[in-house]
């Protein structure tokens, strides 16, 4: 896939993920649109699948919508542990699965 074609698809996926995250938080922002192919090093769009996860940082937690490789497509920050848990539980109740591996965020 050509770079700009992959970017266009990836941008649509992060727009969709950001809209999904905004159902639960106010400050959702788009994140990673492209990922490097594991096979040949060619760039491809982030995956279509949506998982919810969180990353702990010095200022609190970042809540993410990510693909099955852990690429954060949408992020929202900064949450204390209690608020993060409440938001993630709502998302899981609505059918999103929890991503428990390492999440790649654009920081």
Q: Examine residue 106 and state whether it is found in any structural domain, yes or no.
A: no
If one counts every other C-beta atom within 10 angstroms of the C-beta of residue 102, the result is 10
| Residue 105 in domain | no
* DSSP E strands, 50-94: 51-57, 60-66, 72-79
Count of domains for the chain: 1
Establish if 103 belongs to a structural domain.
no
pLDDT in tens, the chain (107 residues): 788 999 999 999 999 999 999 999 999 999 999 987 767 778 899 999 999 999 999 999 999 999 999 999 999 999 999 999 999 999 999 999 999 999 999 86
Residue 70, domain extent: 3-98
Residues linked to residue 76 through DSSP beta bridges, in sequence order = 63
pTM exceeding 0.75? yes
């Amino acid at each position: 896939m050509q770079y700009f074609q992959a970017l266009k698809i990836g941008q649509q996926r992060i727009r969709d993920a950001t809209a999904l995250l905004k159902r639960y938080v106010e400050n959702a922002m788009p994140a990673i649109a492209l990922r490097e192919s594991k096979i040949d090093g060619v760039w491809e769009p982030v995956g279509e699948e949506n998982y919810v996860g969180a990353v702990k940082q010095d200022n609190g937690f970042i809540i993410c919508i990510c693909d099955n490789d852990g690429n954060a497509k949408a992020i929202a920050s900064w949450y204390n542990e209690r608020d993060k848990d409440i938001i993630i539980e709502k998302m899981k109740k609505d059918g999103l699965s929890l991503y428990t591996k390492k999440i790649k965020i654009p920081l």
